[in-house]
Structure 1
Amino acid sequence: MEKRIINPWKWQDERSYVQAVEVKNVTGTLYVSGQTAISAEGVSSNADMESQLILALKNLEEVISTAGYEPKNIVRLNIYTTSTAELWPHFAIFQDWIAKHGIQQSLTLLEVKSLFETLKVELEATVVK
Structure 2
Amino acid sequence: MEKRIINPWKWQDGRSYNQGVEVKHSESTLYVAGQAAVHPDGTSSDADMRTQLLLAIHNLEQVVSQAGYELKNIARLTVYTTNHPEFFSVFDTFTEWIAENEIKQVTSVIEVKTLYETLCVELEATLVK
> Is this a same-fold pair by TM over 0.5?
yes
The match for 2:108 is: 108
User: Please, what TM-score do these two structures have when normalized by structure 1?
Assistant: 0.99
The match for 2:53 is: 53
The offset of 1:38, in angstroms, is: 0.1
Note the 1:79-94 alignment, pairs <5 A.
79-94=79-94
The offset of 1:58, in angstroms, is: 0.6
The offset of 1:88, in angstroms, is: 1.1
Between the aligned partners of 2:97 and 2:89, the Cα distance in structure 1 is: 15
The match for 1:31 is: 31
Identity, in percent, stands at 60
Unaligned residue ranges in structure 2 (runs of 5+): none
User: Please, what TM-score do these two structures have when normalized by structure 2?
Assistant: 0.99
SS in 2 for 1:56: helix
Between the aligned partners of 1:4 and 1:85, the Cα distance in structure 2 is: 31
Report the number of matched residues.
129
Between the aligned partners of 2:62 and 2:93, the Cα distance in structure 1 is: 17
Between the aligned partners of 1:84 and 1:70, the Cα distance in structure 2 is: 28
The match for 1:72 is: 72
SS in 2 for 1:108: strand
SS in 2 for 1:116: coil
Which one-letter code corresponds to 2:29 in the other structure? T
Which one-letter code corresponds to 2:128 in the other structure? V
Unaligned residue ranges in structure 1 (runs of 5+): none
Q: Cα RMSD (Å) of the superposition?
A: 0.5
Between the aligned partners of 2:97 and 2:121, the Cα distance in structure 1 is: 15
Superposition misfits of 4+ residues, deviation over 3 angstroms = none
Which one-letter code corresponds to 1:87 in the other structure? F
